[in-house]
Amino acid sequence: MAPPTDTADTLLHELRDEVRQHYPSGRVIIGVDGVDGAGKTRFAEALARVFAEDGSAVFTASIDDFHRPRAERYARGRDSPQGFYLDSYDDGAFRRLLIEPFRSRSGPFRTAAFDLDRDEPVTAEAQDAPADAVLIVDGIFLHRPELRGIWNWSLWLHVPASIAAARLAERDGADPDPEAESNARYRGGQALYAREADPRTAASAIVDNSFPDAPVRIFGDFC
């Protein structure tokens, strides 16, 4: 990955400094939330590099590595928005294998439990961390009620639906029209999430990531 531009680098350092004002030491867990195509993984990796500049131990993970099996994800139907929102992820495994041991320092933690492409469980390498460490998790639906209390600090990445759809079309071959019928499951699931969880309000900060080389922090009810 190319290094961040000056604009992106400045924002990343400002966000890191904000977190450190509240959490100068100890175990810190950060969530990077947003719709598919928002640029969450790239942003999380860039933020991790900035945290590591002062020698901090930094770990990254994705909720995508804690999916449920395909049969469970599609139990409500392959086109079901409710299934997308409610059944995609194994919150129990996410908490048990990653969040709880990391936060409590009760033992090694694992950053993955499921291989989505192969549709089967995996046993990720067990990792440990020093007493002062940062864990940055990216993914969708990170502010749903079941997970909201996990984060010490969290971020919502805003992008217009048209930009997110264009990115998914390039990455996954999806239809670039966000209103296309083939996108209804995902569009509807995100709408359910927005109504139930209001992630823009729940997040500690909102960043417009329409242009990844020039992300902009936004405030109030811009979204």
Q: What is the pLDDT of residues 173-197, one digit of tens each?
A: 999 999 999 999 999 999 999 999 9
For residues 56 and 105, give the distance between their C-alpha atoms in angstroms, rounded to a whole number.
16
pLDDT value for 220: 66
pLDDT value for 221: 53
* pTM of the shown model: 0.94
pLDDT value for 1: 59
* pLDDT class of 73 with cuts at 50, 70, 90: very high
Q: What is the pLDDT of residues 108-125, one digit of tens each?
A: 999 999 999 999 999 999
What structural domains and CATH numbers belong to the chain?
6-210 (3.40.50.300)
pLDDT value for 222: 46
For residues 165 and 69, give the distance between their C-alpha atoms in angstroms, rounded to a whole number.
25
- Provide the percentage of residues in the chain whose pLDDT is more than 70: 97
For CA atoms 7, 177, 72, 125, give the dihedral sign: negative
pLDDT value for 4: 73
Task: Name the residue type at position 63.
Answer: I
Higher pLDDT residue, 6 or 75? 75
For residues 60 and 127, give the distance between their C-alpha atoms in angstroms, rounded to a whole number.
12
Does residue 3 surpass a pLDDT of 80?
Answer: no
Tell me how long the chain is: 223
For residues 145 and 128, give the distance between their C-alpha atoms in angstroms, rounded to a whole number.
28
User: In the chain, at which residue ranges do the beta strands (DSSP E only) sit?
Assistant: 27-34, 57-62, 114-115, 120-121, 133-139, 153-158, 205-208, 216-218
pLDDT value for 223: 44
Exposed / middle / buried, residue 123 (Cβ in 10 Å: 0-12, 13-18, 19+): exposed
pLDDT value for 46: 97
pLDDT value for 148: 87
pLDDT value for 165: 95
- Lookup result for tokens 């993970």: 61
